[in-house]
Amino acid sequence: DQQVKQNSPSLSVQEGRISILNCDYTNSMFDYFLWYKKYPAEGPTFLISISSIKDKNEDGRFTVFLNKSAKHLSLHIVPSQPGDSAVYFCAASPYNTDKLIFGTGTRLQVFP
């Protein structure tokens, strides 16, 4: 039972344009959401998080949007850079625990 879903296994975007990565969840108990970036043979790197009391959080080129009614969140990267090419994981945490439930990831490729 996949509680956090990233339905697009891959995404290709031109440098300078916007990258939009999507994530859906099914568990209403999730109240904290995070995005991580992962390069091959490395651990995930924290990018940005959002609490369920907010619908938007911004940090530099990265913005996360949360739509609780649709149980959907997205990560916007603008402008996209070649160094952003990596696998992006969405993760969620239930309100009564600190464990993270991860999606299966979306591979982003930013080409010149």
Partner 1 sequence: NAGVMQNPRHLVRRRGQEARLRCSPMKGHSHVYWYRQLPEEGLKFMVYLQKENIIDESGMPKERFSAEFPKEGPSILRIQQVVRGDSAAYFCASSRLREGRNEQYFGPGTRLTVT
Contact positions vs partner 1 (CB under 8 A): 4, 31-32, 34, 36, 41-46, 49, 51, 89, 91, 93, 97-105
Q: State the minimum distance, in angstroms, from the CB of residue 54 to partner 1.
A: 12
- Residue 96 CB neighbour total at 10 angstroms: 7
Name every residue whose Cβ is closer than 8 Å to that of residue 4 and which is 6 or more positions away in sequence: 23, 24, 25, 26, 90, 91, 92, 101, 102, 103
Is the Cβ of residue 80 or residue 106 nearer to partner 1 in the bound state?
106
Is the Cβ of residue 15 or residue 102 nearer to partner 1 in the bound state?
102
Q: State the minimum distance, in angstroms, from the CB of residue 86 to partner 1.
A: 14
